[in-house]
């Protein structure tokens, strides 16, 4: 909690900012934060060669790409709560998709709330906070909008026939029957099971197409008036179901997809607690490579990425067209990574590199060197203090992240010694630290140690290798230190 003196200083700063003339408000930079959902590093700016993401490339050409950015919890709600409040999950108390920081840590100020209090116009579209239950509404936003996909053409005739027999699908018993029937129609209607396939819809009929176009509309109509703006575009893809307009599937023929099967015996040398059984929901068996099914899902996932990239391109073009290219900070990232068969795992909720590393591109007009890159270690929790510093706003006293401003100004500036990520297993946490070369994880039933310089796919657990005993000891110490810091702001 903030000490009394800090509270007084914060109140004084707020009063000062609110009293500033409009010209001073207009001189403050705008902010556009774009957050994708379940997007791993299968984008061109992260070095993935098998996909085209021109919008990512466009932003990177004018800004800085961070090659080693990491989430603090590889699940939506804990991750978003963490970086939107500048606190590690162990301090937010949000370690699942049901908890709400307003109950676990009452009074904690969110990133958009801080900007709204400072006189910014704040607008949100799509998935920013986890869901409507955790959405802070008027406290954080002047406007917050959510959209749904239009009905897929393959569904329409079936729905009409169903309603002719049972009545409207949004009422009574018919609603229950429809919810049971809908997932059986096609792979596209499966939802979390997961669904995948061409939607038959146009870009602007998808929720992400609507999200992007809403941001464009706000820019075109100057919805923010004479205030600087803080806008967040929550991109829902490539979260399941893996649906996208048909044309994006055509970009990725299944027989052209490139991937490497994991070692069949991998799980004989790694703690069993490190795995999750989500692969069963995708239709896979542990230790069995199903090449055909893997290609089905990868094609759909990549189609979603190209689709979301096109929507982001619309937003970036609108910034230029409306004259905000040079007065708007843009951050493009994801809430966490995603597994597509690595270690036979699918989905999220593990501590592997592919699950914890996220794409990150930041453009700060007048500060970032165009086309610059940094391999320094950073965390999503660093975004809050970075933005408050860049916009000259007072930051909450208890923020646990570290501002990235020195790195944005100098690509050679060092990042963190280690980054920290956790995930729940029952009543306990799996915990991992990642340094420039190594990743170490501690579980209730064992440990992991990977040399990412020589084993970037994390196939060989070196925890029992005698020659790495000193490294193992050092990583254990780093993990203990990281956990101490992560708990420092607990109530």
Q: Beta strand 438-443 with 196-198: parallel, antiparallel or unpaired?
A: unpaired
Instruction: Give the pLDDT confidence score for residue 28 in this predicted structure.
Output: 92
Residue 355 confidence (pLDDT) above 50: yes
Tell me the CA end-to-end span of the chain in Å, nearest whole number.
7
3-state secondary structure (DSSP) of residue 337: coil
Q: Where are the alpha helices (DSSP H) in 332-375?
A: 353-356
pLDDT digits (tens, 9 = 90+) for 191-250: 989 999 999 999 999 999 999 999 999 999 999 999 999 999 999 999 999 999 999 999
List, in order, residues 6 or more apart from 7 with CB less than 8 Å away: none
DSSP 130: S
pLDDT (average), residues 175-201: 96
pLDDT digits (tens, 9 = 90+) for 278-300: 999 999 999 999 999 999 999 99
Q: What is the DSSP string of 195-208?
A: -EEE-S--GGGSHH
* CA dihedral of 271, 276, 279, 282, whole degrees rounded to 10: -170
pLDDT (average), residues 266-286: 97
Portion of the chain with pLDDT greater than 90, in percent = 92
pLDDT digits (tens, 9 = 90+) for 74-111: 999 999 999 999 999 999 999 999 999 999 999 999 99
Portion of the chain with pLDDT greater than 70, in percent = 95
pLDDT digits (tens, 9 = 90+) for 318-352: 999 999 999 999 999 999 999 999 999 999 999 99
CB atoms inside a 10 Å sphere around CB 136: 20
Domains observed in the chain: 29-149+199-410 (3.40.720.10), 152-194 (no CATH)
Instruction: Give the pLDDT confidence score for residue 23 in this predicted structure.
Output: 35
Residue with the larger pLDDT of the pair 3 and 416: 416
Whether the link from the prior residue into 241 is cis, omega within 30° of 0, is yes
Going by pLDDT thresholds of 50, 70 and 90, the confidence category of residue 488 is: confident
Place of tokens 């176009």: 213
Structure tokens at 83: 């970086």
pLDDT digits (tens, 9 = 90+) for 140-156: 999 999 999 999 999 99
Distance CA 191, CA 180 (A): 12
Instruction: Give the pLDDT confidence score for residue 22 in this predicted structure.
Output: 36
Instruction: Give the pLDDT confidence score for residue 132 in this predicted structure.
Output: 86
Residue 12 confidence (pLDDT) above 60: no
């Amino acid at each position: 909690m903030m000490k009394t003196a800090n509270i007084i200083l914060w109140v004084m700063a707020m009063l000062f900012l609110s009293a500033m003339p409009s010209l001073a408000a207009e001189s403050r930079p705008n902010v556009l934060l774009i957050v994708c959902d379940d997007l791993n590093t299968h984008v061109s700016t992260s070095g993935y060669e098998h996909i085209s993401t021109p919008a990512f490339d466009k932003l990177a050409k004018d800004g800085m790409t961070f090659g080693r950015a990491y989430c603090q919890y590889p699940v939506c709600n804990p991750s978003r709560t963490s970086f939107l409040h500048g606190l590690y999950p162990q301090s937010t108390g949000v370690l699942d998709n049901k908890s709400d920081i307003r109950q676990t840590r009452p009074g904690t100020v969110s990133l958009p709330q801080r900007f709204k209090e400072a006189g910014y116009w704040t607008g949100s579209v799509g998935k920013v906070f986890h869901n409507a239950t955790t959405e802070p509404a008027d406290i954080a936003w002047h406007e917050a909008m959510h959209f749904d996909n239009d009905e897929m053409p393959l569904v329409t005739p079936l729905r009409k026939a169903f309603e002719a027999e049972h009545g409207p699908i949004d009422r009574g018993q018919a609603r229950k029957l429809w919810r049971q029937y809908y997932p059986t129609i096609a792979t596209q209607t499966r939802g979390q099971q997961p669904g995948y396939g061409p939607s038959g819809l146009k870009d602007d009929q998808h929720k992400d197409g609507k999200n992007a176009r809403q941001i464009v509309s706000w820019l075109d109509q100057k919805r923010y008036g004479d205030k600087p703006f803080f806008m967040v575009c929550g991109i829902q893809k490539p979260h399941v179901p893996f649906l996208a307009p048909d044309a994006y599937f055509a970009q990725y023929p299944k027989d052209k997809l490139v991937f490497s099967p994991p070692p069949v015996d991998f799980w004989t040398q790694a703690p069993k607690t490190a795995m999750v059984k989500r692969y069963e929901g995708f239709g896979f068996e542990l230790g069995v490579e199903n090449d055909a099914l893997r290609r089905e899902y990868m094609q759909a996932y990549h189609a979603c990425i190209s689709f979301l990239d096109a929507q982001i391109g619309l937003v970036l073009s609108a910034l230029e067209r409306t004259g905000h290219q040079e007065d708007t900070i843009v951050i493009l990232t994801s809430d966490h990574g995603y597994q597509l068969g690595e270690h036979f795992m699918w989905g999220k909720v593990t501590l592997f590199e592919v699950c914890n590393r996220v794409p990150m591109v930041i453009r700060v007009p007048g500060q970032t060197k165009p086309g610059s890159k940094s391999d320094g270690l950073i965390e999503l929790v660093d975004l809050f203090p970075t933005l408050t510093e860049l916009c000259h706003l007072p930051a909450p006293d208890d923020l646990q992240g570290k501002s990235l401003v020195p790195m944005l100004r100098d690509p050679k500036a060092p990042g963190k010694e280690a980054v920290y990520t956790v995930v729940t297993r029952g009543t306990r946490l799996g915990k991992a630290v990642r340094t420039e070369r190594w990743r170490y994880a501690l579980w209730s039933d064992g440990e992991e140690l990977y040399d990412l310089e020589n084993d970037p796919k994390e196939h060989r657990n070196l925890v029992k290798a005698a020659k790495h005993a000193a490294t193992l000891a050092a990583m254990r110490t780093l993990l203990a230190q990281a956990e101490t810091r992560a708990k420092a702001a607990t109530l």
